Amino acid sequence: MSEISFDAETTATLARFGFDRETFEQLRGRLRAQGRSPEQNVLKAKVTVPEAGDVAPLPPRGTPARAALEERGLAAIGAGQVGVVFLAGGMATRFGGVVKAAAEVVDGRSFLDVKLADLAVVSARVKGTVPCYLMASFATADAVRKLGEAGRTERVPVETFTQFVSVRLTPEAELFVGADGRPSLYAPGHGDLTFALRASGVLGRFRAGGGKLLMVSNVDNVAATLDPAVIGAHLASGQALSAEVAPKAPGDKGGAPARVDGHLEIVESFRFPPAFDQDSIPVFNTNTFVLDAAAIDRAFDLTWFAVSKKIDGKEGIQFERLMGQLTAFLPSHFLRVERDGLDGRFQPAKDPEELASRRDEIRRILSSRGIL
């Protein structure tokens, strides 16, 4: 199998964003030898539904239990131990070519405006600093960095770092060339997070400054605010990772907590055995996490999943890593949160149509929390 060569412009982009040539060639060899089929990703282990107590509900607002968790979380935030990561990568294709972080979500405010406004509310409440880190991709890096610079304040400092980049292949493991005659680049999934945090130096600087916990959420899920009670629940669990899960609704797709050979972890929907009834698990992963900074300061053997994409009318193959798989390596706590209502924490907007359907609910949620 001959090595693929790239033009000078592509080579420069790959070098800037940490292209891993060795891993790329290994995955290319795997594709050439094994091809790609959905069955390759299915778990061979025994998969069972969560047991009683595996998923803990976040206590309702107004209860003594919620107040106690909130007090604990506020103490940690006020002590400067909590930072926030917003996932703002992707390919900037679903909002008319505008970087999603800059797209209007409600009342003239962008996704990133609203997310940073939430941190400002919390930082004012504790009279402290809440550092914010934006994970961008090669396609969004420059725009996201400018947005972060414009939105930073003394109490909410903002730093941008980037995930990595790779190159799509054909199903025959050759270079995929787009309609523009150039190699087709892509961002290889939010499983890059811990690796990129370390490679950029962000994680080391955060820890050196006394940081202990990082809350992570998608920039397009503005309902996933920095709730001190969620931080308190993570601390109370004693685990290295907390994953927010929400009740399923018709049409929901994504991972869910399940036991894999007895170990509780997030299993992506395409990894469940065909005979497993995924509807038997009433909650699913929202991609909002709290991570112990010390626990993620190491490498993880995350799986590279082959994914088929239609690009310019042709099939391209890309390899991705998923952040939810960290639960297979770290002691994890699963926190059930509401998705709707004033305590709702899951209102994602992957495209303009979904945003339009959720905008009224988003406005109510954000107004109730003093963000709008």
pLDDT on residue 2: 77
Burial 293-306 (b: 16+ CB within 10 A, else e): beebeeeeebebbb
For residue 159, which of 133, 198, 189 has the smallest C-alpha distance? Answer: 133
HEC secondary structure over 127-143: CCCCCEEEEECCCCHHH
Pairing type for strands 213-218 and 241-247 reads unpaired
Q: Say how many C-beta atoms besides its own lie within 10 A of residue 180's C-beta.
A: 8
Q: What is the pLDDT of residue 350?
A: 84
pTM for the complete prediction? 0.95
Superfamily, domain 18-368: Spore Coat Polysaccharide Biosynthesis Protein SpsA; Chain A (3.90.550.10)
| Per-residue confidence (pLDDT) for residue 93, from 0 to 100 | 67
Nearest to 68 by CA among 229, 290, 235, 243: 229
Q: Tens digit of pLDDT per residue, the chain (372 long)?
A: 678 999 999 999 999 999 999 999 999 999 999 998 888 899 999 999 999 999 999 999 999 999 999 999 999 999 999 999 999 987 656 677 779 999 999 999 999 999 999 999 999 999 999 999 999 999 999 999 999 999 999 999 999 999 999 999 999 999 999 999 999 999 999 999 999 999 999 999 999 999 999 999 999 999 999 999 999 999 999 999 999 999 998 778 789 999 999 999 999 999 999 999 999 999 999 999 999 999 999 999 999 999 999 998 999 999 999 999 999 999 999 999 999 999 999 999 888 999 999 999 999 999 999 999
Strands (E) across 219-320 are located at 241-247, 256-260, 263-267, 283-292, 305-311, 314-320
* Separation CA 368–CA 118 (nearest Å): 12
User: What local confidence, expressed as pLDDT, does residue 98 receive?
Assistant: 79
Q: Which residues contact 289 (CB under 8 A, 6 or more apart)?
A: 215, 216, 217, 241, 242, 243, 244, 323, 326
Task: State the pLDDT at residue 131.
Answer: 98
Q: What are the boundaries of each domain within the chain?
A: 18-368
Provide the pLDDT for residue 92.
Answer: 59
